[in-house]
Amino acid sequence: MKTLQAAISGEVFVPGEAGYDQARQAWNLAMDQRPAVVVVADSAADVAEAVRYARTHRMRIAPQGTGHAARPLEPLDGAMLLRTSRMRGVRIDPATRTARAEAGALWQDVTVPAARHGLAALAGSSPSVGVAGYTLGGGLGWLARRYGLAANSVTAAELVTPDGDLVRADAGHEPDLFWAVRGGGGSVGVVTALEMQLYPVGELYAGDLFFPIQRTAEVLDAWRAWTGTVPDEVTSIGRIMRFPPLPAVPEPMRGRAFAMVEAAYLGDAGTGAELIQPLRRLGPDLDTFAMIPAPALQQLHMDPDQPVPAQGDGALLADFPAAAIDALIAVAGPDADTPLASIEVRHLGGALARPAPDGGAQANIDAKYAMFAAGFTPTPELAATVRGHAQAVKDALAAWQAGYDYYNFEETPAAASAVLPPASYHRLQKIKASYDPDQAIISAHPVRLLT
């Protein structure tokens, strides 16, 4: 490892060495990653050196930014964990309405400077999720029904191939790699930077409605009916939320349980208020709707702002009719004994349903809703319990499940075939075979080679 350390400006850690434990720690504190070596890269040149070193020494390579999605990864024994977490440089170009984000950038690194130019990126619900992992796996955010998946707004990717070459993939170069990274996950190389389209969004009308959890059936029924009436400018979530009794949780929610609707409307307050009125009329306990700046969208979902131990699982739903709501309530509603902190159902459709012109591996999503259920897991016993309950939610909704799951919400180990449309998976297998025949790159959802 000394030769690698001498060749890069970043850092190299092996087991037993000071710094190894910190360097291998994922954002998801429930995960205990034990790679043979951790490389914390400072630059694309470091990434290329690390990849070449790993290949020479027959090590597999797991690229990772934050470790939000460490849970589905296969064990890293004998592998190199290649962390991009220090590579957080972001450049906003207001003239072309694009951003270039290095592979370790978090969404807050993009949304805040973009907003200074009246621009918004297709970020997800959490400011601390990594731009790279989120976008490679699709990227479902608050503007999704209007502008689609983040992956299809990528205009270029810079990546180090499994051969150790730094290449640029865009509309004119490396068409297979460009297609694969836009929704197919990070299995064809180590991304060092992404360029993406930004959108002229200053403020939006957005917020949450909190109802007592006892009203879940009424609230979810009303929300589901409402999703059939709203324009693409509205993206929303129906949710059951049980807040832990922790000091970090704001007082009105601490230790309480709610049925919720969260929504963002790309437009003015007057029209937004009219749109939300059918749900507001139900009389929520708490109503936070207001005009907010685009970066504040990332507070709407109240994701944990610090690393936590957690487990979750998700599914795409072809539909979410009244019978599905009943099935969900039976396992996670007001009377259910469940350790799940959150069960959310996101409204898809709109731009997500229409294949993006020249789109990538997830050109669209052929499902009307996406479900994600998760709980905190401070102990291994609780981890097993939470996993079981998340699976029970998935099982309860099995009759409405689409043909495949959503890449980013699949937190249990699963091959990429389970989280991509079949035609995309088959094309990805061919690209993987051509660029990574030795399966050197470990990704959240592996692409198995054709035999």
Q: Is 183 in the site for ligand FAD (CB under 6 A)?
A: no
Nearer to ligand FAD, 298 or 338 (CB): 298
Nearer to ligand FAD, 12 or 177 (CB): 177
Nearer to ligand FAD, 81 or 213 (CB): 81
45 and 4 Cβ atoms separated by less than 8 Å: no
User: Which one of residues 35, 183, 185, 350 is an interface residue with ligand FAD (CB under 6 A)?
Assistant: 185
Q: Is 67 in the site for ligand FAD (CB under 6 A)?
A: yes
Nearer to ligand FAD, 129 or 396 (CB): 129
**Which range touches ligand FAD (CB under 6 A), out of 134-142, 229-237, 383-391, 422-430?**
134-142
Nearer to ligand FAD, 67 or 207 (CB): 67
Q: Is 130 in the site for ligand FAD (CB under 6 A)?
A: yes
Closest distance of CB 128 from ligand FAD, Å: 7
Site string for ligand FAD, 300-339 (x = CB under 6 A): ---x------------------------------------
Tell me the site size for ligand FAD, rule CB under 6 A: 33
Return the ∠ at Cα 229 (arms to 225 and 231), rounded to 5°.
140
Q: Is 66 in the site for ligand FAD (CB under 6 A)?
A: yes
**Which range touches ligand FAD (CB under 6 A), out of 121-129, 172-180, 351-359, 429-437?**
121-129
User: What does the alpha-carbon distance between residue 231 and residue 234 come to, in Å, rounded to a whole number?
Assistant: 6
User: Which one of residues 125, 152, 236, 364 is an interface residue with ligand FAD (CB under 6 A)?
Assistant: 125
Q: Is 133 in the site for ligand FAD (CB under 6 A)?
A: yes
Nearer to ligand FAD, 61 or 213 (CB): 61
**Tokens, residue 77:** 């024994």
User: What does the alpha-carbon distance between residue 104 and residue 129 come to, in Å, rounded to a whole number?
Assistant: 10
Q: Residue 154 pairs with which residues in a beta bridge?
A: 196
Nearer to ligand FAD, 309 or 333 (CB): 309
Q: Is 39 in the site for ligand FAD (CB under 6 A)?
A: no
Q: Give the CA-trace dihedral at 213, 233, 299, 336, to 10 degrees.
A: 20
User: Which one of residues 39, 119, 120, 140 is an interface residue with ligand FAD (CB under 6 A)?
Assistant: 140
**Which range touches ligand FAD (CB under 6 A), out of 183-191, 228-236, 286-294, 332-340?**
183-191
Nearer to ligand FAD, 295 or 333 (CB): 295
User: Which one of residues 23, 50, 76, 132 is an interface residue with ligand FAD (CB under 6 A)?
Assistant: 132
Closest distance of CB 126 from ligand FAD, Å: 4
Return the ∠ at Cα 400 (arms to 398 and 406), rounded to 5°.
80
Q: Is 70 in the site for ligand FAD (CB under 6 A)?
A: yes
Nearer to ligand FAD, 51 or 336 (CB): 51
Closest distance of CB 135 from ligand FAD, Å: 8
Q: Is 375 in the site for ligand FAD (CB under 6 A)?
A: no
Residue ranges in 396-415 that form contacts with ligand FAD under rule CB under 6 A = 408
Q: Is 190 in the site for ligand FAD (CB under 6 A)?
A: yes
Q: Is 186 in the site for ligand FAD (CB under 6 A)?
A: yes
Q: Is 164 in the site for ligand FAD (CB under 6 A)?
A: no
Closest distance of CB 43 from ligand FAD, Å: 13
Map the chain to HEC letters: CHHHHHHCCCEEECCCCCCHHHHHCCCECCCCCCCCEEEECCCHHHHHHHHHHHHHCCCCEEEECCCCCCCCCCCCCCCEEEECCCCCCEEEECCCCEEEEECCCEHHHHHHHHHCCCCECCCCCCCCCEHHHHHHCCCCCCCHHHHCCHHHHEEEEEEECCCCCEEEEECCECHHHHHHHCCCCCCCCEEEEEEEECECCCEEEEEEEEEEHHHHHHHHHHHHHHHCCCCCCEEEEEEEEECCCCCCCCCCCCCCEEEEEEEEECCCHHHHHHHHHHHHCCCCCEECCEEEEHHHHHHCCCCCCCCECEEEEEEEECCCCHHHHHHHHHHHCCCCCCCCCEEEEEECCHHHCCCCCCCCCCCCCCCCEEEEEEEECCCHHHHHHHHHHHHHHHHHCHHHECCCCCHHHCCCCCCHHHCCCHHHHHHHHHHHHHHCCCCCECCCCCCCCCC
Q: Which residue has the tokens 């029924």?
A: 221
**Which range touches ligand FAD (CB under 6 A), out of 1-9, 60-68, 350-358, 397-405?**
60-68
User: What does the alpha-carbon distance between residue 132 and residue 431 come to, in Å, rounded to a whole number?
Assistant: 20
Q: Is 63 in the site for ligand FAD (CB under 6 A)?
A: yes
User: What does the alpha-carbon distance between residue 402 and residue 314 come to, in Å, rounded to a whole number?
Assistant: 11
Binding residues for ligand FAD (CB under 6 A): 63-70, 73, 84, 103, 124-126, 129-130, 132-134, 136-141, 185-186, 190-191, 303, 408, 443-444
